[in-house]
């Protein structure tokens, strides 16, 4: 209104004002939408780092992985987490220890762990039949995978052959790869033969192609080079539950040292009890999976006495590293049960290996963490100075080593003696721990 008259804006002035209003509106809208997108899509600054467990959670092995990792997460969070962020455990059951493993179930479990549970790191039991598929899935999603139970050489060979695709895979656990295990088996049998004067060896092994093609061929080619004669060759179907007939045949062949592979925790008491009850004139040694557990003595009501088997640093009656006793005490206090090899594997991965790598990398960026992992050199419960090889395998010391100074992962054989696991191999460990080999009181070739 101007002097009683209405001022009318011409069309050009109106167009300018409308344009300005439109531009301001668009800018405000864009700012609001952009802010909303950031708020909705960007992770909160202090979002937890997620440690994923992919295993058969209804099995002892899978549950041990979960409990070991959980304890490590709780301890790290109490110390301030990684880079100021707390850790959280997420888990999926892959049913991997079922008699007939289902690769579809396992694959779906791992995929869900990554895409739905948003795991940043994966710790998997890593059975031989599932690990190769797990490697492919983690490669696709660029997630770092730690396998704890897969002894296959093929897994790490993939890293060497196609690094860019499979660099996300690392192996860590008390079960070493097949090559290291075969070498350790032979050298430990040779050492047992030298200590006892026994020379006639037999083996009792599952009739599985991978074992026939690797373990048996290696033993048959190497044992004679050390003055040992293979007099019994026993192959049993994986479903076997009664070993009496196999013992009878081995004894008839005049076997003095019987090397047995029992990959089932539930079958381990069966073969040990059979050996003890018949007072077999053979020393029983090998990879008897269940016999490595601390609870095995009570489970067999002491029948495990004098049995030799592969073991690990947390089961031994000897603190191999400075981390062993604190970890075992904390685990027992938290869960009310002893720490076992699988528990220690997952605990070490989170508590020492990933923790160290993330701190040195100074970021959670995947490639930076991988580079840091490749330069790992830390003490864990299972090794005095653990490192990875160039193909992301565990660096395992030579079985016949003469010194334990700053040692990496060890191939360890123990003997059950009065309820305690006494280390007897490698020789350097036996001497350091002041261990001795004891022989059964009943009649056998050692009685000579």
Specify if 338 maps to a domain.
yes
Give yes or no: residues 55 and 65 share one domain: yes
- Output 70 or 239, whichever has higher pLDDT: 70
d(CA 74, CA 71): 5
Specify if 33 maps to a domain.
no
Supply the range of the domain harboring residue 204. Answer: 178-320+399-447
Question: What's the average model confidence in pLDDT over 56-63?
Answer: 88
Let me know: does 124 contact 136? Beta carbons within 8 Å. no
pLDDT tens track for 15-51: 444 444 444 443 444 444 344 333 333 444 568 999 9
- Domain boundary among the residues 359, 374, 389 is at 374
Question: Looking at residue 46, what is its pLDDT?
Answer: 61
- What interhelical angle do 244-252 and 268-277 show, nearest 10? 50
Question: Looking at residue 97, what is its pLDDT?
Answer: 73
Specify if 310 maps to a domain.
yes
Give yes or no: residues 235 and 353 share one domain: no
pLDDT at 293 over 80: yes
Q: How confident is the model at residue 291 (pLDDT cuts 50, 70, 90)?
A: very high
pTM for this predicted structure: 0.84
Question: Looking at residue 357, what is its pLDDT?
Answer: 98
What three-state secondary structure class fits 293?
coil
Give yes or no: residues 315 and 333 share one domain: no
Q: Is the peptide bond before 128 cis (omega within 30 degrees of 0)?
A: no
Give yes or no: residues 297 and 419 share one domain: yes
Closest CA to 186 of 210, 213, 219, 153: 219
Question: Looking at residue 26, what is its pLDDT?
Answer: 38
Give yes or no: residues 68 and 83 share one domain: yes
Question: Looking at residue 21, what is its pLDDT?
Answer: 42
pLDDT tens track for 329-351: 999 999 999 998 889 999 999 99
Specify if 423 maps to a domain.
yes
Give yes or no: residues 113 and 156 share one domain: yes
Closest CA to 51 of 353, 411, 439: 353
Average pLDDT across the chain, whole number: 87
pLDDT tens track for 125-143: 877 778 899 999 999 999 9
Q: In sequence order, what are the residues at sequence separation of 6 or more whose Cβ sits closer than 8 angstroms to the Cβ of residue 50?
A: 87, 88, 89, 90, 117, 118, 119, 120, 121
The sign of the dihedral angle between the CA atoms of 298, 300, 305, 310 is negative
Give yes or no: residues 192 and 58 share one domain: no
Specify if 274 maps to a domain.
yes
pLDDT tens track for 350-375: 999 999 999 999 999 999 999 999 99
User: What's the domain count of the chain?
Assistant: 2
Give yes or no: residues 341 and 315 share one domain: no
Phi, psi of 278 (to 5 degrees): -90, 0
Specify if 3 maps to a domain.
no
Question: Looking at residue 420, what is its pLDDT?
Answer: 93
Question: Looking at residue 110, what is its pLDDT?
Answer: 96
Give yes or no: residues 158 and 109 share one domain: yes
pLDDT at 6 over 80: no
pLDDT tens track for 410-434: 999 999 999 999 999 999 999 999 9
Question: Looking at residue 99, what is its pLDDT?
Answer: 62
pLDDT tens track for 187-207: 999 999 999 999 999 999 999
- Output 294 or 275, whichever has higher pLDDT: 275
Closest CA to 288 of 195, 204, 182, 183: 204
Q: How confident is the model at residue 213 (pLDDT cuts 50, 70, 90)?
A: confident
CATH number for the domain that contains residue 299: 3.40.50.2300
- Output 71 or 173, whichever has higher pLDDT: 71
Give yes or no: residues 269 and 137 share one domain: no
The sign of the dihedral angle between the CA atoms of 71, 76, 80, 85 is negative
d(CA 247, CA 271): 9
Give yes or no: residues 208 and 233 share one domain: yes
Specify if 381 maps to a domain.
no
- Output 276 or 23, whichever has higher pLDDT: 276
Let me know: does 272 contact 291? Beta carbons within 8 Å. yes
DSSP conformation letters of 48-104:
PEEEEEEE-TTSHHHHHHHHHHHHHHHHHHHTT-BTTB-EEEEEEE--TTSSS--HH
- In DSSP terms, 410 is beta-bridged to none
Question: Looking at residue 384, what is its pLDDT?
Answer: 93
Question: Looking at residue 130, what is its pLDDT?
Answer: 85
Give yes or no: residues 134 and 231 share one domain: no
Question: What's the average model confidence in pLDDT over 282-301?
Answer: 92
pLDDT tens track for 302-312: 999 999 999 99
Let me know: does 175 contact 277? Beta carbons within 8 Å. no
Specify if 380 maps to a domain.
no
- Output 213 or 20, whichever has higher pLDDT: 213
């Amino acid at each position: 209104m101007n002097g009683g008259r209405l001022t009318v804006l011409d069309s050009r002035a109106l167009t300018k004002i409308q344009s300005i209003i439109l531009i301001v509106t668009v800018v405000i809208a864009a700012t609001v939408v952009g802010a909303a997108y950031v708020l909705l899509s960007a992770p909160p600054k202090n979002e937890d780092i997620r440690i994923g467990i992919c295993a058969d959670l209804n099995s002892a092995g899978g549950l041990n992985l979960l409990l070991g990792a959980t304890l490590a997460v709780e301890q790290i969070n109490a110390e301030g987490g990684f880079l100021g962020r707390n850790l959280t455990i997420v888990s999926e059951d892959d049913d991997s220890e079922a008699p007939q493993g289902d690769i579809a179930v396992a694959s779906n479990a791992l995929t869900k762990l990554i895409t739905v549970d948003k795991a940043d790191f994966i710790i998997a039991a890593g059975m031989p039949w599932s690990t190769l598929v797990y490697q492919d899935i983690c490669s696709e999603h660029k997630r770092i995978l730690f396998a704890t139970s897969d002894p296959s050489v093929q897994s790490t060979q993939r890293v060497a052959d196609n690094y860019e695709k499979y660099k996300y895979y690392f192996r860590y656990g008390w079960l070493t790869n097949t090559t290291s295990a075969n070498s350790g088996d032979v050298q430990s049998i040779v050492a047992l033969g030298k200590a006892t004067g026994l020379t006639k060896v037999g083996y009792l092994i599952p009739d599985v192609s991978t074992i026939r093609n690797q373990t048996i061929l290696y033993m048959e080619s190497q044992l004679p080079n050390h003055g040992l004669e293979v007099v019994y060759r026993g192959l049993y179907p994986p479903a076997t539950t009664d070993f009496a007939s196999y013992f009878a045949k081995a004894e008839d062949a005049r076997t003095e040292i019987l090397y047995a592979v029992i990959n089932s925790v539930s079958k381990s008491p069966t073969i040990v009890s059979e050996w003890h009850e018949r007072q077999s004139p053979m020393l029983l040694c090998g990879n008897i999976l269940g016999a490595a557990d601390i609870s095995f003595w009570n489970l067999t009501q002491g029948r495990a006495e004098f049995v030799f088997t592969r073991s690990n640093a947390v089961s031994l009656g000897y603190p191999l590293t400075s981390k062993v006793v604190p970890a075992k005490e904390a685990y027992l206090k938290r869960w009310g049960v002893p720490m076992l090899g699988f528990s220690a594997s997952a605990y070490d991965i989170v508590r020492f290996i990933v923790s160290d790598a993330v701190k040195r990398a100074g970021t959670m960026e995947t490639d930076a963490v991988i580079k840091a992992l490749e330069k790992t050199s830390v003490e864990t419960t299972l090794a005095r100075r653990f490192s990875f090889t160039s193909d992301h395998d565990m660096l395992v010391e030579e079985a016949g080593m003469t010194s334990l100074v700053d040692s990496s992962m060890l191939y360890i054989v123990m003997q059950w003696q009065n309820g305690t696991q006494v280390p007897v191999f490698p020789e350097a460990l036996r001497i350091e721990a002041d261990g001795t080999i004891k022989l059964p009181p009943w009649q056998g070739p050692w009685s000579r």
